[in-house]
Amino acid sequence: MRKTITWMCLVFGCALGLQAAGYEYQYRGEPRPLTLHTARIYVLLESGQTQADLNTLLPDAKIMAWGAQDAARSMNPVEGFALRPGRHWAALEMPSSMTNAAYEALIERLNKNAKVALASPFFTEPLSKPIGMSELFRVKLRSEADLSLLKKMAAQTRTTIIGQNQFMPLWYTLACDKQSQGNALAMANHFGKLGKFDVSEPDLIPTDVMACTTDPFFSMQWGMNNTGQYGGIPGTDIRACLGWGNWTTGDPTVHIAIFDQGFEANHPDLAAGVVGVGFDAYTGTSPAIVQGEHGTACAGIAGARQNNGQGVTGVAPNCGLVDISHPLWFTPNFTTELANGFSWAWTNNVAVISNSWGWFGAPAAILDNAIDNALTLGRGGLGTVVCFATHNYDLPQITYPASANSKVLAVGAMSPCGERKNPGSCDLEGWGSNYGPDLDVMAPGVKVHTTDQQGGNGYDPTDYYATFNGTSSACPHVAGLAGLVISMNNCLTREQVNNIIERSARKVGGYAYGSQPNRPNGDWNFEMGYGLIDVDAALRLTREVYMQNVAINIDSTVQVFGTIAAGFAVTPLVPVGNVDVNAGATLKLFASTSVTLAPGFNVNPGAALQVSIIPFLNCGFWDLSVGRYAPPVVEAVAPPATAENKTAIGTGTSAFDVYPNPLRNRVHVDFELAAAADVAFALYDIGTHPVAGVSASGQYKAGKHSLDLAVNDLAAGVYFLRMRVGETYTVRKVIVLP
> Tell me: the pLDDT tens digits for 367-386?
999 999 999 999 988 999 99
CA dihedral 10, 15, 17, 22 (to 10 degrees): 0
Neighbours of 180 (CB within 10 A): 21
Q: Is 588 left (phi over 0), alpha (psi -120 to 50) or beta?
A: beta
Longest dimension (CA), the chain: 89
**CA atoms of 59 and 431, how far apart (whole Å):** 28
Listed residue (489, 448, 476) closest to 248, CA to CA: 489
Tell me how crowded residue 501 is: count the other CB atoms within 10 A of its CB. 29
Q: What is the pLDDT of residue 614?
A: 62
The amino acid occupying position 418 is: G
Average pLDDT over residues 55-63: 83
Q: How far apart are CA 615 and CA 623, in angstroms?
A: 18
165 CB-near residues (< 8 Å, 6+ apart): 75, 76, 171, 172, 173
Average pLDDT on 73-88 reads 87
How would residue 491 be classed by pLDDT, with cut points 50, 70 and 90? Answer: confident
Q: Which pLDDT value is given to residue 34?
A: 92
Does residue 685 surpass a pLDDT of 80? no
The pairing of beta strand 116-124 with beta strand 160-165: unpaired
The per-residue pLDDT for 631 is 32
Stronger pLDDT, 237 or 541, i.e. the higher one = 237
Q: Which long-range contacts (CB under 8 A, 24 or more apart) does 25-32 make?
A: 25/185, 25/188, 25/189, 25/201, 25/202, 25/204, 26/188, 26/189, 26/192, 26/200, 26/201, 27/201, 32/125
Hey, which residues does 588 pair with through a beta bridge? 557, 610
Check residue 127 and give its pLDDT.
Answer: 63
Q: Work out whether strand 579-581 and strand 550-552 pair parallel, antiparallel, or are unpaired.
A: parallel
pLDDT at 635: 29
Residue 718 reports pLDDT greater than 80? no
704 vs 538, more confident: 538
Give the containing element (helix H, strand E) for 106: helix 100-111
Q: Rounded to an integer, what distance in angstroms lies between the CA atom of residue 19 and that of residue 9?
A: 10
| Concatenated DSSP letters of 656-684 | EEEESSSBSSEEEEEEEESS-EEEEEEEE
pLDDT at residue 6, as a whole number: 26
Q: Who has greater pLDDT, 67 or 377?
A: 377
Q: Which of 217, 205, 196, 90 is nearest to 152 (CA)?
A: 196
Q: Which residues have CB under 8 Å from 195's CB, separation 6+? A: none
DSSP 343: H
CA distance 362 to 587: 49
Q: What pLDDT was estimated at residue 628? A: 39
Residue 192 φ/ψ, nearest 5 degrees: -70, -40
pLDDT at residue 456 is higher than 60: yes
The most confident of the ranges 43-52, 192-201, 613-622, 675-684 is 192-201
CA-based nearest residue to 634, from 592, 664, 584: 592
Q: Does residue 158 sit in helix, strand or coil?
A: coil
pLDDT cut 70: percent of the chain above it? 88
Per-residue pLDDT band for 732 (boundaries 50, 70, 90) equals confident
Binning pLDDT at 50, 70 and 90, where does residue 640 land? Answer: very low
Please say whether the dihedral angle defined by the alpha carbons of residues 213, 217, 221 and 225, taken in this order, is positive or negative. positive
Give yes or no for residue 238 having a pLDDT over 90. yes
pLDDT at 738 (0 to 100): 63
Distance between CA 329 and CA 413 in Å, rounded?
23
pLDDT of 539 over the 50 cut = yes
Tell me the average pLDDT across 128-140. 89
- Higher-confidence residue: 252 or 676? 252
The confidence band for 615, taking pLDDT boundaries of 50, 70 and 90, is: low
In the predicted model, what is the mean pLDDT of residues 333-342?
A: 95
Contact partners, residue 424, CB within 8 Å, separation at least 6: none
pLDDT at 630: 32
pLDDT the model gives residue 242: 82
Lowest mean pLDDT among 116-125, 221-230, 374-383, 541-550: 541-550
C-alpha to C-alpha distance for 299 and 169, rounded to whole angstroms:
52
Residue of 216, 260, 653, 189 whose CA lies nearest to 466 = 216
Confidence of residue 16 (pLDDT cuts 50, 70, 90): very low
Q: What average pLDDT score do residues 573-589 get?
A: 87
Model confidence band, residue 4 (pLDDT cutoffs 50, 70, 90): very low
Q: Note the pLDDT of residue 196.
A: 94
pLDDT at 700: 85
Q: How confident is the model at residue 19 (pLDDT cuts 50, 70, 90)?
A: very low
Average pLDDT over the chain, rounded to whole?
85
C-alpha atoms less than 13 angstroms from C-alpha of 123 in its C-beta half-sphere:
20
pLDDT above 60 (res 11): no
Residue 429 has pLDDT above 90, yes or no: yes
> Residue 86: pLDDT band by 50, 70, 90 thresholds?
confident
By mean pLDDT, which of 4-8, 133-137, 481-485 is the weakest?
A: 4-8
